[in-house]
Structure 1
Amino acid sequence: MSIKSIAAKLFAKRIYKETQAWAMNPVASQEAVFRDLIKEAGQTAFGIDHNFASIKSFVDFAKQVPIRDYEDLKPYIEKVVKGEENILWKGKPLYFAKTSGTTSGAKYIPLTKESMPFHIQAARNAILHYIHETGKADFVDGKMIFLQGSPILEEKHGIQFGRLSGIVAHFVPKYLQKNRMPSFETNCIEDWETKIDAIVGETFHEDMTVISGIPSWVQMYFERLEQKGGKAVGEIFKNFNLFIYGGVNYEPYRAKFENLIGRKVDSIELFPASEGFFAYQDSQKEKGMLLLLKAGIFYEFVKSTEFHTDKPRRYTIGEVELGVNYVLIISTNAGLWGYNIGDTVQFTSLAPYRVIVSGRIKHYISAFGEHVIGKEVESALQEAMEGSSIRVNEFTVAPQITPITGLPYHEWFIEFESEPTDMETFAKAIDDAMRKQNIYYDDLIRGNILQKVVITSVAKNGFQDYMKSIGKLGGQNKIPRLSDNRDIVALLNKK
């Protein structure tokens, strides 16, 4: 065992104890964050506009600060982008993370000197919790890779702009610099396919022990490795045993990954976003990710079934329940207030508080009142595939409201690596799984309002071609699991 791995175990033990201190005192931890946020932002333009000086409790805050999305907060953000100080948070942000907006073009999410360290610490602590629980630390001596966006940043008014993953690349600890791959020059390549080929070239003969990224793009990397080496990724990288991912549910990809790797490897799930690093998988034995309650973020939760009502109730951490679908609302030390990030979560544990990401509040199907969410379609596909040789590369679901003949239905667009021998039986298995999860969907099938799901096969690389056509190939971009319209599927290449 190396000195580095021994040090990692000792450090992991310390971080675990520190985490337990706030995780076992969740309400007090969140109250402390809340008080600090209100105090620090009291003299900002936003704080003055919303009378932060009079806020003594969360009840006061909820009355004075409405839930906002990016469009609602945009007038404040535009002032910060122009270089104005003390608008949403004291001073100026260090960075703006540039993301893709749905209605407003590019979105600019502030990152401050107070918020930035938590992005770095959370990713580090996820690995340290894995080391503490499993005792495995030898991987720290090997090479590690995170498939990410370009670290090239631009600067305006003393603030640097770039993709979150590119910004984070500038904060890799010195003790990991020698282990980190790919090279800075390769990381700067903008074209994703060119970049993947360059990464394959650089890493092929290295001792890769940790690989990280969004599953769909890591899959592309693995496929290129397999093409180059003519063998499984696990044979190319004999000491690769830890996959770190975020952004999408890994389960629909797991069987394909194990086939590409040639064996099972441990995995750690992360829940990062430009708006904050919210949770990470702290245990290989428990379901869900540990919600970070002392990381400069105050959380509120709104039941998704109530979200679109006039005055939905806003719950704090001590009021949430297991298994309920909540819209995640945040206030942060980067200057986001009552901010709807668009993600929905469900709690899998209340001691400590662990969550799974159940979908997006804007990504659902409710053409007939069924309100199907991302978690349900992912679970249904996983259940239908269990015990079979079926392999799926990517998928999305959309309603077909006006079929040429017959009843409306949910249409599943699936790019198969290995197709079912009987597509009808597979479609029925998905439909049965959906009906078990969603009583509204089941009622619509029983009532002959909808017919069972229809599967449409997508051509090989069809989803990659779609992402390329809209300028979102690679990086942190991902395919929505479902939508209430057919805008995405209209552009897919079907078989």
Structure 2
Amino acid sequence: MGLKAALSKPFAALVVKGINKWKKNAVSAQHNILTQLIDSAKDTAFGKDHNFGNIRNYEDFKKNVPIRDYEGLRTYIDRVVAGETDVMWKGKPEYFAKTSGTTSGVKYIPISRESMPEHIKAARNALLTYIHETGKVKFINGKMIFLQGSPVMHKKNGINVGRLSGIVAHLVPKYLQKNRLPSYETNCIEDWEEKVDAIVAETFHQNMTLISGIPPWVQMYFDKLAAQSGGKKIKEIFPEFSLFVYGGVNYEPYRAKIEESIGKKIDAIETYPASEGFIAYQDSQQDKSLLLLAKAGMFYEFIPADEYYNDDPTRLSLGEVELETNYALILNTNAGLWGYSIGDTIKFVSKNPYKIMVTGRIKHFISAFGEHVIGEEVEHAILSVANEEGVGITEFTVAPQVSTPQGELPYHEWFVEFSAAPKDLQAFSKKVDQALQKKNIYYFDLIEGKILQPLIIRSLQKDAFVNYMRGQGKLGGQNKVPRLSNDRKIADDLSSFTIRHEGEQQGESN
């Protein structure tokens, strides 16, 4: 055992002791953070405009600070981007995390000197918590790879701008730098396929022990490694590979294929980082839920998802939430985001400690007829049946089909790329539809009431989603295919990749 591995166990024990302390007092920690945030920002332009000097509690805060998304806060953010000081947070941000929004175009998310360390600490603590629980430290002595965006940054009015993962790449602790791959030069390659090829060349003969990234792009890396090796499993290429760290999407749709590529089951840690803040991570291998980071410089609010678009939705603090309720997540951060709707939905599965599951995106749903089907429901429906049937799913997305021939009912249209296709697509589709009806009572009522016909699955060609993302200029990095759309844009683009099957269902296209 190397020195770093030996020291990691007592350090992990010390860190977990501190985590356990705030876990037991999460509600109190949250209200303390709200007080600190308000006090720190009371003299900013935003603080003055929203009466921070007279806010004494959460009820006061709700009366003075409305819920807004990026567009709602844009007048303030644009002032920050222009170089003005003391707008939303004291001084100027240390960085802007540059992200792409579907409605806002390029977004600049401020990262302050107070918020940046929380990103690094949370990523570190996810690993230390794993070490403390499992006692496994061997991976520390090997090479670790983080599939991420380019670390190249540029300045905008004196502030460094880059992708979050690229910004973080500059701040990796020194004790991990020697173990870290890929090289800086390779990480700077902008073209994703060229970058992955370079990473394969750089890592192929290394002792890789930890691999981290968004699952679909890690799968691309594994596929290229297998091709380079003549079809070997990852466990043969990297015999010491023992830990997979991921985030950004639900792992379950990718788990079977990734484990098949590896050639064995492997420990995995799910994380929930966002440009706005590091929100949660998996703190136990015995439990897939994520520990909400109640002491990470952010005050969370929660809006019941079915009230999100109301004029005056219910706003709840941590101590007011209920289990198994779908909430839109709202952030107030130590980088100056206030009443900020991040766009994600979560549900609590535990309140002792507070642990969550990410259920989808507030804008990614289907409700063409009032069914409000969400990501968690479609993932459960198809994966539960796929697991029973031995079917492999590479990727999928769902959209409503309203424009049907006269006399034919509308339906939900699923575009699925199978790694192991069902023997009978129609029978498989029927089972998925029944599973979705069990998860969503509104969908059940629409099927029973003959408002909708059962869902239809379109089988897609191999690499359809990779080719689609390439065509959109969104291959790799932090980009993800939405599980659900309430329009036909993605569905219509994917239609050119469909495979025609014999005996197709009613409503199938040529």
TM-score range, shorter chain: over 0.9
Whole-Å Cα distance in 2 between the matches of residues 387 and 410 of structure 1?
Answer: 22
Whole-Å Cα distance in 1 between the matches of residues 399 and 471 of structure 2?
Answer: 19
Which amino acid in the other structure matches residue 148 of structure 2?
Answer: Q
Whole-Å Cα distance in 2 between the matches of residues 392 and 305 of structure 1?
Answer: 30
Q: Deviations over 1:314-350 (max 9, x none)?
A: 0000010110000000100000000000000000110
Pick the aligned partner of 1:436 from 419, 435, 438. Answer: 438
Misfit runs of 4+, over 6 Å = none
Q: How does 1:409-420 map to 2 (within 5 A)?
A: 409-420=411-422
Which amino acid in the other structure matches residue 222 of structure 2?
Answer: F
Match of 2:79 in 1: 79
Q: Deviations over 1:198-224 (max 9, x none)?
A: 000001111111101000100110100
SS of alignment partner, residue 305 of structure 1: helix
Which amino acid in the other structure matches residue 156 of structure 1?
Answer: K
Matched, 1:494 2:498: yes
Q: How does 1:63-462 map to 2 (within 5 A)?
A: 63-229=63-229, 230-404=231-405, 406-462=408-464
Shift of 1:158: 1.6
Whole-Å Cα distance in 1 between the matches of residues 196 and 287 of structure 2?
Answer: 34
Match of 2:475 in 1: 473
Could you list the runs of 5+ residues in structure 1 that have no partner in the other structure?
A: none
Whole-Å Cα distance in 2 between the matches of residues 182 and 153 of structure 1?
Answer: 18
TM-score (norm 2): 0.96
Whole-Å Cα distance in 2 between the matches of residues 426 and 263 of structure 1?
Answer: 27
Could you list the runs of 5+ residues in structure 2 that have no partner in the other structure?
A: 500-510
Shift of 1:93: 0.1
Shift of 1:416: 1.1
Q: Deviations over 1:366-388 (max 9, x none)?
A: 01111000011111111011143
Whole-Å Cα distance in 1 between the matches of residues 489 and 292 of structure 2?
Answer: 34
Shift of 1:287: 3.4
Whole-Å Cα distance in 2 between the matches of residues 362 and 261 of structure 1?
Answer: 34
Shift of 1:424: 1.0
TM-score (norm 1): 0.99
Which amino acid in the other structure matches residue 458 of structure 1?
Answer: L
Match of 2:50 in 1: 50
SS of alignment partner, residue 365 of structure 2: coil
Shift of 1:5: 1.2
SS of alignment partner, residue 32 of structure 1: helix
Q: CA RMSD in A?
A: 0.9
Which amino acid in the other structure matches residue 425 of structure 2?
Answer: M
Q: Deviations over 1:88-125 (max 9, x none)?
A: 00000000000001112100000000000000110110
Whole-Å Cα distance in 2 between the matches of residues 238 and 394 of structure 1?
Answer: 28
Match of 2:507 in 1: none
Q: Between Structure 1 and Structure 2, how many residues are aligned?
A: 495
% identity of equivalent residues: 60
Which amino acid in the other structure matches residue 93 of structure 1?
Answer: P
Shift of 1:165: 0.5
Contact 1:431 1:453 in 2 (8 A): yes
Whole-Å Cα distance in 2 between the matches of residues 432 and 14 of structure 1?
Answer: 49
SS of alignment partner, residue 356 of structure 1: strand
Shift of 1:391: 1.2
SS of alignment partner, residue 390 of structure 2: coil
After alignment, is 462-471 or 401-410 more displaced?
401-410
Contact 1:330 1:337 in 2 (8 A): yes
Whole-Å Cα distance in 1 between the matches of residues 469 and 92 of structure 2?
Answer: 34
Whole-Å Cα distance in 2 between the matches of residues 238 and 442 of structure 1?
Answer: 48
After alignment, is 284-293 or 318-327 more displaced?
284-293
Q: Deviations over 1:229-255 (max 9, x none)?
A: 121111111111111100100001111
Match of 2:38 in 1: 38
Whole-Å Cα distance in 2 between the matches of residues 261 and 221 of structure 1?
Answer: 11
Contact 1:241 1:265 in 2 (8 A): yes
Shift of 1:292: 0.4
Q: How does 1:4-43 map to 2 (within 5 A)?
A: 4-43=4-43
Whole-Å Cα distance in 1 between the matches of residues 266 and 255 of structure 2?
Answer: 10
SS of alignment partner, residue 16 of structure 1: helix
Whole-Å Cα distance in 2 between the matches of residues 276 and 440 of structure 1?
Answer: 34
Whole-Å Cα distance in 2 between the matches of residues 227 and 50 of structure 1?
Answer: 58
Shift of 1:2: 2.3
Whole-Å Cα distance in 1 between the matches of residues 456 and 233 of structure 2?
Answer: 33
Contact 1:93 1:159 in 2 (8 A): yes
SS of alignment partner, residue 369 of structure 2: coil
Shift of 1:490: 1.0
Whole-Å Cα distance in 1 between the matches of residues 10 and 396 of structure 2?
Answer: 42
